[in-house]
Each structure stands twice: as structure tokens, then as C-alpha cells.
Amino acid sequence: MMNQLKACTLTFLLAGFVFPQQSLAANVPPLSNQLKQVIQWFTGKFDNSQNVASNPAIPLINMRNCSVQLAGGGTDGTGSVYLEQQSPVFNRVRFYSFGLGSGTINLGIRSFINSSSLSGICDRPASERIISQDNLAAAVCSLNLTYEPNRYVGNNAPNGCPTITGGKVVSDVSIQANSINSLDQIFDSSGKLLAGSRINFQRLATVPESSPLAGFAITGAGLIFLNRRKQQEKRVKSVKQS
């Protein structure tokens, strides 16, 4: 009887570990849905004004990311995004490629050979946001984005990505629906940390465009007010003449 009781207790304890893991796995979206979601969260207009308020040493950075098409490149299971960052001390543009990995989202970051022709590309219609494969540098900085509830996280430590000076850049990123947190640590060839500040980008609220119906409503209200004003003036004039 004692052995049976121990066996039942062990079975109960094992079940307590197995079921929560199965429940957690069941809540993970399919990888194709993750790809769409992380691209949607990554695109838009952002800045780090809250970051600057708490640390004035960090420059204000305006960031705009938009989906683009890669001319001559495959589109199945991938998504391309043009990133543009502007600040008083630097301007940075990059090509971000999101793809399906083995249980994660693969992110590849590449620079442009000639970026001058791409200025203002996010202001163009989606059908005209086309980037040539020949305009992309060969070197790719890669990391994997892993799904967590309400965010995607990635880190390419300890190897990072090599720099042209023999050092490396180690990146840590977290992407949420309305914010992007990033930390790029730059090391020299001897492993000494040269720079690295965590940047917190917040999505900027867009001002909705006024619809034609709203314009008609405002115009109609104005006409009603003018008609009533004229009627009142006529009544006052008739009273004075009588």
C-alpha cells in the first residue's frame, strides 16, 4: 500500500510539471503569424524622447521604419524593412530582413552601398518602395528573435558582429507592440567596451486624417449658422422699419 501511495504521489508531481509546459507551448502563435506580427510592430514612426528625458547625454533619435520590396529577391517566408534613424550626431539607414527560422524569427541587418537614392523612401507608395539587391552590402549582422508573451527578444552575444576595425558589436533587442528597446555594445579588437547605451524607442501616435464626411459635416454646420444669422438680421431690420 505504501509503494502504491508513493507511485501515485510521483505521478501527480510529474503531471504538475508537464501540464504547465504544454499549456505554455499551446499559447505560442504559429511561426508565420509571428513573422507578420513582429514586422507590424517594428514598422512605423518612433523616437526616444522619454529616454532623453531620463538621460540627457543620449541624443534625440527619430526613427522611421517601413516595409519595402527587394527587387529580384524571394518573398516567401520573408519580410523586408527599411530603417532610418536621424539625430543631431548621426544618421543611420539599414536594411532589415525578417525570415522564418527553426522555431525563431531570423533577423539579418545589412548596410547599403549607396543610400542617397533611398532618402524619403517611406513617403512613397508601397508599390514604389523597391530596393535593389545590388545596393546591399555583402556583410550581414544576424540574430534570432524568440517569441515571449507580448514581445520578441534577441541577442547575439558573445560573438556579435565584426566591425571593420577588428572589433565587434553585440546587440540586444526587444520588440513590443508600441516600443523597441535596443542595446548595441561596441568593443575594440582587444575586447574593451567603447560605447553602449540602451535606447528605448516609443511609437509616435499618428494624427488621423479628416474624412470627406467630416468636412461635409463642418461645412453643413457652417451654412446652417450663416442662414440663421441672416434670418435674425432680417427680423431685426423689419422690426426697425415698422
pLDDT in the model for residue 110:
95
Which residue has better confidence, 149 or 78? 149
pLDDT in the model for residue 75:
56
Helix, strand, or coil (residue 132): strand
Which residue has better confidence, 47 or 15? 47
Average pLDDT over all residues of the chain: 81
Task: Return the HEC string of 8-28.
Answer: HHHHHHHHHHHHHHHHHHHCC
Give the residue extent of every domain in the chain.
31-203, 209-236
CA distances from 102 to 76, 95, 149 (A): 16, 22, 19
Length of the chain: 242
pLDDT in the model for residue 4:
52
Q: Which CATH superfamily is domain 31-203 in?
A: CpcT/CpeT domain (2.40.128.590)
Question: Of 165, 167, 169, which Cα lies nearest the Cα of 155?
Answer: 169
Q: Are 39 and 67 in contact (CB under 8 A)?
A: yes
Return the percentage of the chain with pLDDT > 90, whole number: 61
Average pLDDT over residues 21-33: 74
pLDDT in tens, 87-114: 998 899 999 999 999 999 999 999 999 9
DSSP class of 59: P
The three grid cell numbers given for residue 66, joined into one nine-digit string: 517601413
Q: For residue 26, what pLDDT band results from cuts at 50, 70 and 90?
A: low
pLDDT in the model for residue 119:
87
Q: Alpha-carbon distance 23 to 3, whole Å?
A: 31
